[in-house]
Amino acid sequence: MPGGFFRTSASADPDVIAALQDYLQWEELIGWAIDHLDESLREGFISALKGNLAAKKRLINHKIIPLYTSGAAGVALTPIPFSDAALLVPIQIKMSLHIMKTYGLDQKLGNLSSLVGSVVVSESGRLLAQTLSTNLFKLIPGVGTAIGTTVNTVVASSFTAAMGYAISEICFRCATAVFEEGKEIVWADYFNGENIATLMNEWFKVSRHG
């Protein structure tokens, strides 16, 4: 059809693309979608975008991670003993899989979900103990110095936010390597306790400065 021919040719014409740039405002549209679309529409729209990893990262950092940090805070509304901190793990696994799906990595490797889940399960308790012992929570306003051996709302939400940041950053690096650079990667080189711990520590230090 002539119309179909025109659409294909026009979209591939560099002069047409250049002429339309001032009118498309693609980045503004993505930003508006993240900030204003209903949740059920927003995630579908951003996740369906080909590429645009920066937009997906923004959605994860500003909308998805806060959703799960609120859930973690709810679990610890009444401070729970450190020994019961495993109650946070299902929330962190669900958050990690949500992040992975948003980047489109769940379609790349079927057993990646199992890998991410196993890393979160095995590392969450150890990392929480390590974080408490190194006093990283004292870097966060509102935590104070008397944490002791309990997990309260601020500890639970901060730890989950740090975990979310780490998983998001790892997924972003994987997605960049796989989708934009066309690389074959070893998933375990990215998703491991050492990388998660390093990135979580980074989050705590950055959060100290607001």
The predicted structure's pLDDT at residue 6: 38
Per-residue pLDDT of the chain (210 residues; tens, 9 = 90+): 444 443 444 445 566 555 555 544 555 655 656 565 666 555 555 555 556 788 889 889 988 999 999 999 898 887 777 767 788 889 999 999 899 988 888 777 667 677 777 888 878 877 777 766 655 555 555 554 445 556 778 888 988 999 999 999 999 999 899 888 888 888 889 988 899 989 998 998 888 765
Please give the structure tokens belonging to residue 170: 């790892």
**Which three-class secondary structure state does DSSP give residue 80?**
strand
Residue with tokens 């110095």: 145
Whole-number Å distance between alpha carbons of 182 and 66: 31
Q: Are 165 and 65 in contact (CB under 8 A)?
A: yes
> How far, CA to CA in Å, does 206 sit from each of 61, 89, 136, 194, 210?
14, 24, 11, 19, 7
**Amino acid sitting at position 81:** P
Nearest CA to 120 among 91, 97, 89, 95? 89
The whole-model pTM stands at: 0.72
